[in-house]
């Protein structure tokens, strides 16, 4: 079975020859002289050509750097975005060998027909059309042989090169390249593990099952492994080619693209990070077909909620709220200059809103935040870079399909639908139930834990403290915790009811919200009277 790239093992590989080769290419293209401040940096085009000469891993790394407009000038970013990852096709013997070694069965025993000419060939793998014995039409994605060993060697060389460069040229430390390389290695781990891609496809099919205009290939699990992925065949054509022949179908396709992006983000915590025209097809019946789930991102619930607050703040041009939501998405940041960050975010939002609102770009807004954060000490999470990249690519695709269409209407409609769903009674009930359950667990576990801790204190160096006093203290803490639990549960009722009232859903939902508020207030009154009675009793 295929292994994943382990950065720790990479460092143990013999990377000397490869490192010398890399340094030779950099010297020939005048990079080393630029680092020594003897001359200017090479032109953007020469930078791209250098990356292409260094090979597959560096092409992928250049594509990652193309996402980092907070690190490099726009001219270099624009050039790196032109990097091509097309490679010559593998020979059929290599394809056959990989499939048979991965699946353990001769190729003739797996497929009744197998087209030797690939449909597509890229850096990681190439795709072949085939037919299973039962007549099922499939596409077989086959990983290039020795790919992991080559990538591992290059990652090790790149890691050493960055460490050496930062030691010799301290000004490179401002680029935080070690973190970039580490995130890049993790990304390649994900992209070269077809088992992970298969799991992503299953999750996306489940999350988007109710989108009527979308179809996602199913995985043929028994014909798949870590280096071979067999999928249902997609008979469509690229969305950009389809749009030229059927311009009347473009608005429908754009609405579907927007809905699948936002729905997977906010409902399932998933997103396709590479929605370029080659990965979006249109079937003969007009449905969209989303391909290639090798590059996807995942967002946990706290990050999704912070993202929702961030989008709302960007739309409202609220710099303070945007800054707080942005920092919540990067909790590992230290030594952040919050005052300077707020100034930069305010300037970025002003620039975004100074033009026509129809021209507002979510991708551009996120890129501005990333730049502001990097300047002020924020360690941006890798998933936020992927998400920004996804929005930039999606908006570029939409503009390519329909330059004059105000696609922000689709974004606003879908965000309004998701917001209404987010504040639905069922959703609020579920979140309130989870909160109460956690509080009940805290109330039931804490007294026992408190007694055990106090008993150990009483049996230790503080033995002169009598155990009965400690037990009494534990009982008091237990009672306080129970009252705290009840108070927080009542507060959850009041907050949930208020949220229902504010959203103005109308009808019985407003009645439910009012009932929750009244119940919470009455419960709070009862708790207050009980507390007053206890206080008077002690007196």
Cα distance between residue 519 and residue 514, in whole Å: 9
Q: What is the distance between the alpha carbons of residues 301 and 37, in angstroms, rounded to a whole number?
A: 46
Interatomic CA distance for residues 25 and 31, integer angstroms: 9
- SS3 call for 414: helix
Instruction: Write the CA distances from 457 to 311, 448, 477, 522, integer angstroms.
Output: 50, 14, 16, 41
Q: Could you count the other beta carbons within 10 Å of the beta carbon of residue 484?
A: 14
Closest CA to 53 of 32, 80, 75, 22: 22
What gap in Å lies between CA 90 and CA 160, rounded to an integer? Answer: 31
Q: Kind of pairing, strands 137-143 and 125-131?
A: antiparallel
Helix (H, G, I), strand (E, B) or coil at 296: strand
CB 148 within 8 A of CB 2: yes
Distance CA 13, CA 19 (A): 12
Stated as kind and residue range, the H or E segment containing 114 is strand 113-114
Residue 349: closest CA among 328, 372, 379: 372
- The dihedral over CA atoms of 454, 458, 461, 464, expressed in degrees to the nearest 10, equals 140
From 70, 154, 193, 274, the catalytic residue:
274
The answer for residues whose C-beta is within 8 angstroms of residue 184's C-beta and 6 or more apart is: 60, 61, 64, 155
Reading the block at residue 199, the tokens are 């799991």
The first and second tokens of residue 511, run together, are: 């009645």
Contact by Cβ (8 Å): 390, 397: no
Question: Could you confirm whether 406 is annotated as catalytic?
Answer: no
Q: How far is CA 203 from CA 185, 219, 528, in A?
A: 24, 11, 48
- N- to C-terminal Cα separation, the chain: 74
Q: Which residues pair with 298 in a beta bridge?
A: 270
CB 277, CB 243: distance < 8 Å: no
Q: How many helices (H) and strands (E) does the chain have?
A: 22, 11
- CB contact at 8 A, 322 and 344: no
Q: Where are the beta strands (DSSP E) in 132-227?
A: 137-143, 214-216
Residues designated catalytic: 274
């Amino acid at each position: 079975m295929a292994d994943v790239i382990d950065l720790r093992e990479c460092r143990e590989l013999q990377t000397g020859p490869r490192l010398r080769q890399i340094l030779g290419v950099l010297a020939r293209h005048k990079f080393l002289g630029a680092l020594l401040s003897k001359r200017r940096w090479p032109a953007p085009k020469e930078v791209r050509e250098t990356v292409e000469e260094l090979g597959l891993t560096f092409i992928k790394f250049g594509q990652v750097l193309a996402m980092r407009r907070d690190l490099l000038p726009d001219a270099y970013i624009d050039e790196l975005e032109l990097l091509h990852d097309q490679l010559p096709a593998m020979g059929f013997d290599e394809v056959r060998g990989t499939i048979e070694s991965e699946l353990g069965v001769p190729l003739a025993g797996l497929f009744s027909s197998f087209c030797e000419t690939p449909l597509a060939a890229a850096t990681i793998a190439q795709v072949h059309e085939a037919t299973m014995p039962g007549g099922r039409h499939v596409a077989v994605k086959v990983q290039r042989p020795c790919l992991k060993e080559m990538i591992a060697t290059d990652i090790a060389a790149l890691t050493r090169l960055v460490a050496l460069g930062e030691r010799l040229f301290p000004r490179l430390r401002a680029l935080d390249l070690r973190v970039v390389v580490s995130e890049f290695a993790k990304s390649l781990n994900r992209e070269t593990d077809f088992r992970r891609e298969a799991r992503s496809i299953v999750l996306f099919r489940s999350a988007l099952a109710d989108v009527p205009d979308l179809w996602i290939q199913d995985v043929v699990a028994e014909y798949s492994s870590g280096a071979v992925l067999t999928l249902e065949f997609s008979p469509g054509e690229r969305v950009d080619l389809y749009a030229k022949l059927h311009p009347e179908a473009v608005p429908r396709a754009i609405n579907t693209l927007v809905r699948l992006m936002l729905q997977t983000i906010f409902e399932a915590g998933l997103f396709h990070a590479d929605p370029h025209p080659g990965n979006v097809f249109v079937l003969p019946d007009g449905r969209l077909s989303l391909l290639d789930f090798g590059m996807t991102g995942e967002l946990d619930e706290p990050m999704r909620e912070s993202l929702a607050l961030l989008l709302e703040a960007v739309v409202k041009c609220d710099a303070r709220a945007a800054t707080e939501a942005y920092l919540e998405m990067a909790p590992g940041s230290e030594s952040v200059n919050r005052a300077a960050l707020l100034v930069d975010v305010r300037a970025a939002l002003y620039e975004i809103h100074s033009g026509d609102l129809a021209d507002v770009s979510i991708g551009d807004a996120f890129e501005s935040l990333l730049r502001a954060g990097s300047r002020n000490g924020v360690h941006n999470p890798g998933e936020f870079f992927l998400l920004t990249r996804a929005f930039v690519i999606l908006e570029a695709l939409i503009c390519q399909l329909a330059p004059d269409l105000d696609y922000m209407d689709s974004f606003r409609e879908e965000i309004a639908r998701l917001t209404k769903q987010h504040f639905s009674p069922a959703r609020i009930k579920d979140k309130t139930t989870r909160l109460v359950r956690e509080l009940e667990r805290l109330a039931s576990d804490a007294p026992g834990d408190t007694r055990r801790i106090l008993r150990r204190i009483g049996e230790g160096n503080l033995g002169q403290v009598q155990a009965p006093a400690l037990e009494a203290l534990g009982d008091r803490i237990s009672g306080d915790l129970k009252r705290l639990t009840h108070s927080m549960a009542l507060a959850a009722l009041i907050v949930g009811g208020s949220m229902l009232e504010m959203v103005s859903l109308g009808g019985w939902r407003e009645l439910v919200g009012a009932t929750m508020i009244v119940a919470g207030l009455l419960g709070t009154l009862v708790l207050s009277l009980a507390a007053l009675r206890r206080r008077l009793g002690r007196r």
